[in-house]
Chain A
Amino acid sequence: MNTLLRSVLAAVLFGALLVFAASFAGCDLLDPRSVENPNVTEDDFLNFPDPMASWLRGMERQIALALNNQQNDLETGYLPAAEIASDNYANTATFFNQFLDDLTIDNTDDTFETALQEISDLRESAEFGLTRVAAADENTTDAQRAELHFYKGMAHLLTGEIWHSAPADSGGAAVPSSEQFAIAVASFDEALALDPGRVDYTVALARTYRNLGDRAAARTAAEAAIAADPDFARFARYDFTNNLENDVQLAMFGRPQNDLQPLPRLDFLDPKFSNSAAPNVNDDQEADVAYIKGEEAFLILAEAQLADGDLAGAQATLTDLLGVVEGRKRATFSDADDPRLNLGGSARPTGSDWLVAASPEAPFRDGLMLDRSERITVPVISGTSVTADRIAALAGLDEALELLYLLRQEIFIGEGRRMMDLGIKWAVPFAELLVNPNISEDDAAASGLVPDFLPAVEMDAFVVDEDARTVTILHDLNRILVENKASDLVLPLH
């Protein structure tokens, strides 16, 4: 045997030995630990004792995400963007949606994608709870099932309120809002059947019927809620420590720029969410957001009464409403570092001596703006500038309706509801259009909807008279809404 051959043979034999050692025996001896994921797998979870209770806490977290959260500097919930899209707030700095401020609705806008994803997650999580988790947990109670139906209903309710047309299930065809609302009604009915008398389910049901334009059903549910517990409020709870942030709080208070600046006539309500907004603030100063509250039942009932021509009844309901609002908590704190700047850095009016007119035709009112060099007191659940005298002085249905929409605007500020009252609807996001085979870029759902009677760019514009210390808002949208009450896009009970 020649040298080369022997060497090659030796190399092959040694190599084989080495490979054998490295890939089998050697690994176990020298690196005996297997690679194990420290996190929880789905199978592990379903085999835990009582997984349903944990899943329901997850649902609570998910609705907080769907409403209002940011992850990796992206807004995931719809709430801050919905406030920007309304006349409640102008976005004067960088990090929140800018397109919506002048009502540019483009389906490539990230906001629509993350919001639809989180709301869909809420729906899918409810379904998973009702099927897989309930099957794995023999101790699941009716009350727990009712909660899951409620969350499912909320997912459809929100989808119907935010999009004029969108899929009702994963990868489905786009359906109009009315179909989303119909599923929501069925879900809330199921929830109430499993856990009768729940005020939160009842208010949600009234809200859904109002959206459907079903005056009688909306009224019945609203009356039931008022009878049960008019002071009720259900909160989405936030937890800064555990990375569940109240994003709209960051926008209106947390960031040094205070990116969201209120319409001057709503100045006295800002910021609803702050790290002093006790008691709806947990230990780490992240304010909770009420998404179902008793006030809404009064507002729905009064709106139905006005639609029925019952001015006196509506006046009585709204006066009762003031009692509920009056009883809500307030927070006192310093907001002196809010720079009150416009986009581009110019100063906005600030101080308690300013008079504000809701439109060039409207009278100047005082008390709507606060002196921010002093500690301020703001409502943290509901507040309003409307007084019992103003309600008592109402002479006509339209005038009353206009005041009712101001009440809705003031009471729901920061909760993402004003955009819906204005009839503004988002587009189904591009990512859905691209991948979902049942929907295409040519569908109506691919575009948003902005009522043509809204003054898009000027929606939160106002004129300042430094000398007279007056602010005149260019358009009173509550008046515009009432003037267009016959439109299918707004005032569903009319």
Chain B
Amino acid sequence: MNRLLLAFAFVLSLAVPVLAQDAVIRGTVTEAGTDTPLPGVNVFLQELRLGSATNVDGEYEIPAVAPGSYTLVATFVGYKRFSTPVTVASGAAVVQDIALQEDLLGLDEVVVTGQGAAVESRRLSTTVEVITPRQLAANPGNRLDELLQAQLPGAQIRFSSGQPGTASLIRSRGPVSASTSTTPVIYVDGVRVDNLNTASALGIDTGGAQSSAIPDIPLENIERIEFIKGGAATTLYGSDAANGVIQIFTKRGVGGRTALTFETELGWMQGTQDFLRFAQTGDVLYRAGLIQQYRLGGSGGSEALNYSFSGSLYGDEGFRPGNDQQQYSFRTTVGARVTPAVRYNGTFGFTTSDFTRDVNANNGLASFGNLEGGTEGDLSEMTDEEIAAIGDSIRNVVGLYRYEGDTRRFQTSQQLDFVPMEHLTFKGIVGLDYRVNTEQETQAPSFLSAVGLPPTTSQIIRSSRRFFGLTLEGTAQHQGEVGDFSFISTLGGQVFRDDDRQDALVATNIAEGTTSVNNAADQTSLDFQLTVANYGVYVQENVGYKNRYFIEGALRADANSAFGDEIGLVVYPKIGAAYQLSDEAFWKGSPLLQTLVPSLKLRTNLGFAGNFPTPFANDRLVLATPILGEIAYTFDQVGNDDLKPERVRTFEVGANLGLYNERVALEVTYYNSRTQDALFTVPFLPTAGLAAQLFNVGEIVNKGWEFAAQAFLVDTRGLDLRLTASLNTLDNEVVDDGGIAPFSVGGFTFLGQWVEEGKPVGFLRGGKPTFDAEGNLVDVERNAELGSPLPDVFGTFGLNATLFDRFRLFITADYQLGAQGVAVDDVLRFFNGFPDDGRIPTDAEGNLQVGLANFFDIAGIWVEDTDFLKVRLISASYTVPDRWFRNPYVRNLDIGVRVVNPFNFVASSFDPEVTGANGQSGTGGVQDGVNLGVFAFGTESPPRQFLLNVKLGF
């Protein structure tokens, strides 16, 4: 019992004498086949959990090792786990070099996200998508969604606007909810961060562009990113994870020689003309803008105390006036062995971001939207002089308008690992994310005069949002083996709290030239608060037999401040099984199987995950609003004591296959998710006169197949060429509407997004006209289903080639099929008298046939298929041979070029992606509301970027 007592002593005092040891293990880790040194590889003695990471030259050193026999293990994302026995004599220096094999199948990868603590991928019945350092190096974007775009085989990431700091749509297995967005929860080193990816409650509405918290998550110094989809994989996250979880892991300190890298990137961006109705819009508004970025990173220290840091300066001028941004960020990580059994790791990240924006949609103040929507007339019919005059006028207006935003964000994760004895690990994490975002729109009197509005309506609107997120998590993990059985037991507790405070200041009739709300005739203010606290405990058991049969089961129980008073703990169970069939003797004994299918893992699971309800929606309230200087009380939400989270039950079955001597890795999964107790904002019967209230009444099903493949086409010493591809099917349906009337989750009165039994979430509903051969309107189906915002099929393509280990080419693309969107800009052109040719039937004289028809009845003619294939990135780099520069200080030199958003192939007349981040795209948003992306509405697409990159290692 002495060791156990000792363990308790560790917990209680953490004061344990450190005994000096003098043996040391060192060596170099390289990639098998190419002999390239691998930095950042974790090398450790399994029994002691003692180890370090390799430095830039691939070297490691484990000092202070007590004499004995150990298992030396090396792990690195994207490579197979290496292990070998080592015996260390007192005072000896053991050299153990290691060659790591690439791991296409990922079975040996160690996964943390969704497991409480580290578990080997082969033991899991669920899947995890990992972005490797190699992928990160090819696409050094400075915002998370850009970095992940077309890189996650099972998720879609679409930008709602080309403007800086704006929201995106991140979606994997279809919308599980008709009341919240599809954005996954995001963790950085175990700490939950602000992931608001829709308009904020008091944010400034500039049409289609809505601010997001994703673009300024501090991204410096990332080692890898894990993504798990909602379902059994996210059960341990409880009431917060039905949309999946993205976790970012930052680089740990690396012992050994200090290494520095300096990277500079220069280039330009230009507005894409691919989707413009009028080429003249581009002539008037677009111009190339400079992009520059400088990054300095370094690492060093020893096994006992090490550090790593990275900082960057980024700036661009935008692709049009009024769209520039600057971002500065840094991250520092410090690791220390506090005692032989306790390891500390602390990471601090900070980002500051400043940007300007223009107004979108058909707002009277907009520039792009008004040109494309035809407010200025049919540009294609105008003379060069007329275009020049419009250009001068618009640029004058753009110059007078100001929309400025800034974000300051601090994020930290503090982690203690305690290994009191072999096979037993404790982990404690405390962390926070503090984000302050301020945006200010100034409509000066001179600006309003220029757009023909009374200068007395001049305004400053300042919107501020402060987010404070706190995460506390403690986990105990025990690994044990009895005969052929192995056990991983995990027990943990997690607390998180979000505090979202917003203010809006509005100053009206302002002084010319001021940016202060003080200098105005009238000032008003508003605030908004959203606070939620969640307390969860979980237990998980993973049992293996002969290292090929695995079963796992887990349970998480949550209490949450957003639940109604009648709801106590909500419990989420999961159960799963995995079977490494190819490890059976008969399989290994068959040369044919070994060649064709050398690896086959079967897996299945059933698990629950949840979405907690909108905070405070459970309370019964009276609305107190100021009216003309006095306070007025009226009915507000009636509250719901039985409000509880949406629970998503997901069943999965699938296989991981290694084919043709492991040259092809294929992952196949069928999933069926059923959202029980789906939260619908239920309208009461109109004669009750009450505001709609959130109730758990619906049921939504998402199901489909997921295929992800990776193939080595050529794998010789000179050329390594591999392709990746994924295909996901999606079938979404509201299977039970709880007996309530269909309700709208966004869009317009003439054409909205609705929720109705038997239809996909947010399907398009409106008038569907039928025309005869002569183009006469003969019939109209009212409230017809006009399309779905959700694709039937989506996926990614990638190409990754390496030539002589010096030249690297990286291409990513993604696609979708079977979704629809609405050409709202053309609705505006219709009102301005020149709709797109052919959209509306005409008679023999060329007159529109709908002159007297009800405009609502022809809404369907603006619905288009939004199939697309977009090449997101072409990145090429070259490692310059050191004989070419012969500098004693410069260790390596890489030169690269990168083109972002080079090619678009689309079925629609508009950019199918730039269709809003909120259901109510372009017409005002709802914080964290349904986001499906349907309405193309006066918003610029993400620009094309051309960049030259130079990277120096010292």
Which A positions have Cβ atoms within 8 angstroms of B? Answer: 1, 4, 6-12, 14-15, 17-19, 21-23, 26-27, 30-31, 35-42, 44-45, 51, 54-55, 57-62, 72-75, 91-99, 101-102, 104, 106, 108, 110, 113-114, 116-125, 128, 166-167, 169-172, 237, 239, 241-244, 256-257, 275, 282-285, 337, 341, 343-346, 429-432, 434-436, 457, 461
Cβ distance A32 to chain B, nearest Cβ, rounded Å? 11
Q: How far is the CA of A244 from the CA of B475 in the complex (A)?
A: 51
Q: Which residues of A contact B660 (CB under 8 A)?
A: none
| Contact yes or no, A275 B457, CB < 8 A | yes
B543 to chain A, nearest CB (A): 13
B7, B524, B687: which contacts A432 (Cβ < 8 A)? Answer: B687
With A171-B687, A283-B522, A341-B831 as given contacts, are A18 and B633 in contact (CB-CB < 8 Å)?
A: no
Given contacts A58-B633, A435-B685, contact A41 B620 (CB under 8 A): yes
For the complex, count residues of B whose C-beta is within 8 A of A: 103
Contact B689 A120 (CB under 8 A): yes
Q: Indicate whether B634 reaches chain A with its CB closer than 8 angstroms.
A: yes
CA distance A275 to B420 in the complex (A): 74
Within 8 Å by CB of B632, from A17, A61, A122, lies A61
Residues of B within 8 A of A337 (CB): 452
**B residues near A284, Cβ cutoff 8 Å:** 508, 522
Q: Give bound CA distance, A243 to B626, whole Å.
A: 10
The verdict on B622 contacting chain A, using a C-beta distance below 8 Å, is yes
Residue of B nearest to A436 (CB): B685
Instruction: List 20 other contacts, CB 8 Å, given A124-B635, A167-B687.
Output: A4-B482, A8-B489, A9-B4, A10-B478, A15-B492, A19-B491, A31-B495, A35-B533, A54-B633, A57-B632, A58-B623, A98-B855, A104-B854, A106-B783, A117-B689, A124-B689, A170-B685, A343-B851, A345-B831, A432-B687
- The chain A residue sitting closest to B472, CB to CB, is A30
Interface centre among B457, B493, B633, B828 (most CB of A within 10 A): B633
Contact with A along B481-497 (1 / 0, CB 8 A): 11000000101111101
Nearest-neighbour CB distance to chain A for B426, whole angstroms, equals 6
Residue of A nearest to B923 (CB): A73
Q: Is B771 positioned at the interface, with any CB of A under 8 Å from its CB? A: no
Q: Which residues of A sit under 8 angstroms from B497, Cβ to Cβ?
A: 31, 35
* Contact call A22/B495, Cβ cutoff below 8 A: yes
Q: Which of B33-41, B218-226, B442-450, B740-748 contacts A (4 or more CB under 8 A)?
A: B740-748
Is B804 part of the contact surface with A, judged by Cβ < 8 Å? no
Complex A-B: 5 CB contacts under 8 Å: A45-B633, A58-B623, A170-B685, A243-B625, A431-B686
A-B pairs, 9 with minimum CB distance: A345-B833, A22-B493, A15-B491, A120-B689, A121-B689, A57-B632, A98-B856, A35-B561, A11-B478
Question: Which of B423, B426, B452, B506 has a CB less than 8 Å from the CB of A241?
Answer: B506
Given known pairs A11-B489, A73-B924, the reply for A22 and B535 (CB within 8 Å) is yes
Against A, the Cβ 8 Å flags (1 = close, 0 = not) of B852-863 are 101111000000
Known contacts A27-B535, A35-B532; is-contact A169 B619 (Cβ 8 Å): no
User: Are A7 and B482 in contact, CB atoms less than 8 angstroms apart?
Assistant: no
Query: Given known contacts A10-B7, A73-B748, A97-B749, is B741 in contact with A431 (CB within 8 Å)?
Result: yes
Q: How many Å lie between the Cα of A19 and that of B472 in the bound state?
A: 12
B750 part of interface (Cβ distance < 8 Å): yes
In the bound complex, do residue A23 and residue B493 qualify as a contact, i.e. CB atoms below 8 Å apart? yes
Whether B689 contacts A122 by the Cβ 8 Å rule is yes
The answer to whether A343 and B632 touch across the interface, beta carbons within 8 angstroms, is: no
Tell me if B782 is interfacial: C-beta within 8 Å of chain A.
Answer: yes
Question: Are A95 and B748 neighbours in the complex by a CB distance under 8 Å?
Answer: yes
A494 to B3, CA, bound (A): 103
- CB atoms of A23 and B535 under 8 A apart: yes
CB pair B616 A39 closer than 8 Å: yes
The chain A residue with its CB closest to the CB of B456 is: A285
**B669 to A: closest C-beta gap in Å:** 32
B74 at interface by CB-CB < 8 Å = no
Smallest beta-carbon distance A261→chain B, Å: 12
| Given A104-B854, A169-B687, A237-B628: A7 touches B833 (CB 8 Å cut-off) | no
Q: Contacts A60-B627, A62-B634 given; indicate if A26 touches B495 (C-beta within 8 A).
A: yes
Q: Is B20 an interface residue (CB 8 A)?
A: no
CB distance from A426 to the nearest CB of B (A): 12
Closest to B622 in A: A45
Q: Which residues of A contact B855 (CB under 8 A)?
A: 91, 94, 98, 343
A239 to B362, CA, bound (A): 24
Cβ A121 vs Cβ B489 within 8 A: no
- Contacting A at CB under 8 A, from B604-659, are 615-616, 619-628, 630-636
Task: Tell me which residues across on chain A come within 8 A of B364, comparing CB atoms.
Answer: 256
**Residue from A4, A57, A430 in contact with B631 in the complex, judged by beta carbons closer than 8 Å:** A57
